[in-house]
Amino acid sequence: MKTLPDGARVERGEGGLERLVLAGAEGEGCVYLHGAHVAHFQPKGARPVLWVSRKSQFSAGKPIRGGVPVCFPWFGPKAGEPAAPVHGFARLRPWSLEDVEPDVSRGLRAALRLGSDDETRRYFPHDFVARLLVTVSRVLRLELEVRNTGATPFRFEEALHSYFAVGDSRRLAISGLEGAGYLDKADAMARKTLLAPLAITGETDRVFGGHTGRIAIDDPVWGRRIGIARTGSKTAVVWNPWVAKAKAMPDFGDDEWPEMVCVESANALDDAVTLEPGASHPLTTTIELV
């Protein structure tokens, strides 16, 4: 890797894990090499946009609770393999830092890489390379590219599982999903259609398949709107654990659920991606304060 440009540095973060700090003229962020996990993004003069639990476990082999976990090569539990890690192995593995360079947006762009090995083939018997490009400026842009480096096709699920910091999740209006059908995982996987902007009124776990449009989170408590644009993503997921599920998670504070909401860019369930040998698929999400 070349010498890091001004504003970029590698340091020991929480739990002694290595993290890359990106501080540009328009905003700052940090990415843990553990899981290629974006744990912080803050435009200049604004509140932090991402949320991380105060009880998150920053340790090897454990997922970081909050920020933007990378889910790959499956989403949720792996069918037929209860011992497999939830949301795949990518968020639990060390990624290598390939490069950091200045970006035309007056920010910084980092490239991280994860390749297949004997450990990944235990659960996913395919050869691949995954790269995450992280651009930090006034906006946060994430591009997850998966390439099939093997000789046979494979099918995978993926998500950029964004946790957003909000003033009070009970007072949000999440727009852009009106008219879309979804699976309600908090209601026995019932199929429903959203008729109005989404409000968080209880445990929320909704998977919107076949949806590609822009989504916005209106936060009246903090007086801001978070815009989420996606390409290469056909699934959107909205999640908030509410009271009981928050208390049941050891890495999530009992009283933290009003501080966050997840709006995720994904390809899951019927929208899983099939890659031919040599082919690649990019999933991009752009997050900005509007």
Angle (CA) 210-239-40 rounded to 5° is 105
For 244, the enclosing helix (H) or strand (E) is: helix 242-248
**What does the pLDDT read at residue 86?**
97
**What does the pLDDT read at residue 2?**
72
Burial of residue 155 (CB within 10 Å: 0-12, 13-18, 19+) is exposed
pLDDT at 256 over 70: yes
Which tokens hold the place of 10? Answer: 């590698």
**What does the pLDDT read at residue 290?**
86
- Do the domain assignments include residue 3? no
In angstroms, the CA 229 to CA 288 distance is 9
Using alpha carbons, list the distances in angstroms from residue 161 to 10, 100, 206: 24, 23, 13
Number of domains in the chain: 1
- Do the domain assignments include residue 7? no
Distance of alpha carbon 150 from the chain centroid: 26
* Cα radius of gyration (the chain): 18
Which tokens hold the place of 21? Answer: 């700090």
CATH at residue 19: 2.70.98.10
CA atoms within 13 A on the CB side of 4: 15
- Do the domain assignments include residue 163? yes
Q: What is the mean pLDDT of residues 280-289?
A: 98
Its sign, for the CA torsion 257, 287, 230, 88, is: negative
**What does the pLDDT read at residue 210?**
97
Using alpha carbons, list the distances in angstroms from residue 70 to 89, 142, 202, 237, 246: 9, 10, 26, 14, 21
Q: What digits encode the pLDDT tens for the residues 90-148? A: 999 999 999 999 998 889 999 999 999 999 999 999 999 999 999 999 999 999 999 99
Query: Are the C-beta atoms of 50 and 39 separated by less than 8 Å?
Result: yes
Using alpha carbons, list the distances in angstroms from residue 208 to 69, 155, 240: 19, 20, 15
Q: What digits encode the pLDDT tens for the residues 21-60? A: 999 999 999 999 999 999 999 999 999 999 999 999 999 9
Give the catalytic positions in this structure: 161, 264
- Do the domain assignments include residue 63? yes
Query: Are the C-beta atoms of 70 and 132 separated by less than 8 Å?
Result: yes
Q: What digits encode the pLDDT tens for the residues 221-247? A: 999 999 999 999 999 999 999 999 999
- Do the domain assignments include residue 132? yes
Local structure of residue 132 (DSSP, 8 states): E
Q: What are phi and psi of 242, to 5 degrees?
A: 65, -155
- pTM for the model stands at 0.97
- Do the domain assignments include residue 175? yes
**What does the pLDDT read at residue 1?**
63
Local structure of residue 243 (DSSP, 8 states): H
Which tokens hold the place of 112? Answer: 């991280």
- For 30-59, b where at least 16 C-beta lie within 10 A, e where not — what string? bbbbbbbbbbbbbbeeeeebbbbbeebebe
Q: Please name the residue ranges forming H helices in 25-148.
A: 118-121
Find the range with the poorest average confidence among 80-84, 147-151, 184-188, 223-227: 80-84
- Do the domain assignments include residue 121? yes
- Do the domain assignments include residue 1? no
Q: Which domain holds residue 80?
A: 12-289
